[in-house]
Amino acid sequence: MDCIFCKILENEIPSYKIYEDDDVLAFLDITQGTKGHTLIIPKKHVKNVYELDEDTAVKVFGVVPKIAKALKSTFNPIGLNIVNNNDKPLQSVFHFHIHLIPRYENDGMVLSTLNNYGKFNDDHFNSLVDLIKKEL
């Protein structure tokens, strides 16, 4: 399979591994957006969150606190973002991965959510709830 993260798992290409168990691997992101930027992946190849089964999700997300705490103790960041991109154009590697991004003063990292607080009424919120619940 032509998947760069599967190749990392098979040691076909090098990586900077920081944690490994039977189901999960954590390694440094090659871009090091901030110091300690880490990726956590399941060993099972799934493209993204839409292909992720619950058992694999439990395993991969289960490792997140351990790595987050290690990054905090190691680098003493002011905070930490957890990011997961799904589908183009957000996603560039199509093997599910969770980014752990330690944050530092003036690190230049831009990560924001929009704030539309107060723009929508009760009916709008309830219609969204109804639509989403139909798909669960």
Residue (15 or 81) nearer to ligand AMP, CB: 15
Burial of 54 (0-12, 13-18, 19+ CB in 10 A): exposed
Burial of 67 (0-12, 13-18, 19+ CB in 10 A): buried
Distance between CA atoms of residues 69 and 73, nearest Å: 6
The residues, any chain, with a CB within 8 Å of residue 56's CB and separated by 6 or more, are 23, 42, 44, 46
Residue 95 known to be catalytic: no
Q: Which does 6 bind (CB under 5 to 8 A by kind): ligand AMP, Zn ion, none?
A: Zn ion
Residue (3 or 18) nearer to Zn ion, CB: 3
Ranked by CB distance to Zn ion, the top (closest) residue is 3
Give the nearest distance from C-beta 111 to ligand AMP in angstroms. Answer: 12
**DSSP conformation class of 118:** T
Distance between CA atoms of residues 92 and 97, nearest Å: 11
Q: Does 4 bind Zn ion (CB under 5 A)?
A: no
Q: Which does 15 bind (CB under 5 to 8 A by kind): Zn ion, ligand AMP, none?
A: ligand AMP
- Total residues binding Zn ion (CB under 5 A): 5
Q: Does 44 bind Zn ion (CB under 5 A)?
A: no
In the complex, the residues that contact Zn ion under the rule CB under 5 A are 3, 5-6, 45, 95
